[in-house]
């Protein structure tokens, strides 16, 4: 009987993808060192800007990939 | 989609915008911080307000912005447009002597189709008159036509063809509804007439 060749399945499951580390800077750091904030925003995943209690003020990103066409 | 072919090109390539998401009501200083980052990086800046779902919430956010010295919220009355809707302009002082005329996007039925988006958004060019092809600008105000397009490496011919395509695309999107892009040059948001009362203390005359 003729059978089509199939690709061999991996016997071990793929390890779960590690969640990307979210960078965080405080609003004080943001104001003190804007270039550091910009560098963090340029990294994959962007940066969370938080207040002194750790509460999220905003999330900023200078994306490196293609954006969905929202404009 | 705005129909703007330049916006499409800017959005499709890397490192060409600054974007920030705000989960709730936000201070005017935080939105200014994002726009300042756009000034520092010489990139268009976008503030996305993921927590705003209604006109009422948007008006609340606009009233917070209006309290800041760098923000000016205006009532606009575009020539030729007869409507009960309320048209609102938003300006942000860049710090270079110019104000940026901010573009608004929102998921409301009153918004022109070219300015509808899943979330309320303020988008601005926070630089100077940096587009050599756009010469008929107002001295004291910049908007997206003033955006530095150097990174796109456009020839004059390509710039003209993109301008023509942008006009055609936005006209196509708007004309079926009897709308016109020229009404929105200084307009960030088009809201229901009922919003006028709540905006009374927020706006200055445009």
Q: What is the pLDDT of residues B105-140, one digit of tens each?
A: 999 999 999 899 999 999 999 999 988 888 888 889
- Residue of B4, B9, B33, B103 to mutate, testing the A interface (most A Cβ within 10 Å of its Cβ): B33
Q: What is the pLDDT of residues B89-105, one digit of tens each?
A: 999 999 888 999 999 99
Q: In chain A, what are the domain boundaries?
A: 23-60
* Chain A residues in contact with B22 (beta carbon < 8 A): 57-58
In A, minimum Cα distance to B11 occurs at A67
In B, minimum Cα distance to A36 occurs at B37
Put simply, the answer to whether A57 touches B8 (Cβ < 8 Å) is no
Tokens of B95: 């710090």
Put simply, the answer to whether A59 touches B7 (Cβ < 8 Å) is no
In contact, B150 and B131? CB cutoff 8 Å: no
What angle is formed at CA B145 by the lines to CA B15 and CA A66, rounded to 5 degrees? 25
pLDDT of residue B122: 97
Question: CB neighbours (10 Å) of residue A35?
Answer: 9
Q: What is the pLDDT of residues A12-42, one digit of tens each?
A: 777 777 666 679 999 999 999 999 999 999 8
Full-model pTM: 0.84
Put simply, the answer to whether B43 touches A62 (Cβ < 8 Å) is yes
Q: Could you please report the per-residue DSSP string of A12-66?
A: SPPPPPPPPPPEEEEHHHHHH-HHHHHHHHHSTT-EEEE-TTS-EEEEEE---SP
Which residue from B14, B15, B37 is facing A60, i.e. has the nearest CB?
A: B37
Residue B27 phi/psi, 5-degree rounding, is -70, 155
- Non-local (6+) Cβ contacts of B54 within 8 A are none
pLDDT of residue B5: 75
């Amino acid at each position: 009987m003729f059978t089509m060749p199939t690709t061999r399945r991996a016997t071990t499951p793929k390890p779960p993808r590690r969640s990307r580390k979210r960078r965080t800077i405080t609003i004080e750091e943001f104001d003190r060192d804007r270039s550091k904030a910009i560098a963090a925003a340029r990294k994959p995943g962007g940066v969370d800007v938080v207040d002194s209690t750790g509460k999220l003020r905003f999330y900023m990103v200078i994306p490196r990939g293609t954006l969905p066409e929202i404009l | 989609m705005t129909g703007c072919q330049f916006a499409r090109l800017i959005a499709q390539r890397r490192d060409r915008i600054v974007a920030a998401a705000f989960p709730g009501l936000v201070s005017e200083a935080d939105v200014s911080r994002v726009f300042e980052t756009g000034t520092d990086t010489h990139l268009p800046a976008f503030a996305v307000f993921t927590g705003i779902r209604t006109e009422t919430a948007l008006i609340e956010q606009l009233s917070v912005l209006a309290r800041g010295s760098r923000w000016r919220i205006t009532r606009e009355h575009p020539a030729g447009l007869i409507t009960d809707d309320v048209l609102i302009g938003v300006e942000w002082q860049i710090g270079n002597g110019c104000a940026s005329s901010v573009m608004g996007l929102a998921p409301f039925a009153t918004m022109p189709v070219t300015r509808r988006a899943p979330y309320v958004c303020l988008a601005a060019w926070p630089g100077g008159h940096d587009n050599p092809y756009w010469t008929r600008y107002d001295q004291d105000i910049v908007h997206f036509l003033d955006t530095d397009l150097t990174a796109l490496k456009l020839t004059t011919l390509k710039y003209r063809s993109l301008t023509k395509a942008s006009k055609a695309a936005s006209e196509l999107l708007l004309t079926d509804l009897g709308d016109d892009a020229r009404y929105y040059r200084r307009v960030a948001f088009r809201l229901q007439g009922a919003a006028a009362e709540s905006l009374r203390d927020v706006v200055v005359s445009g």
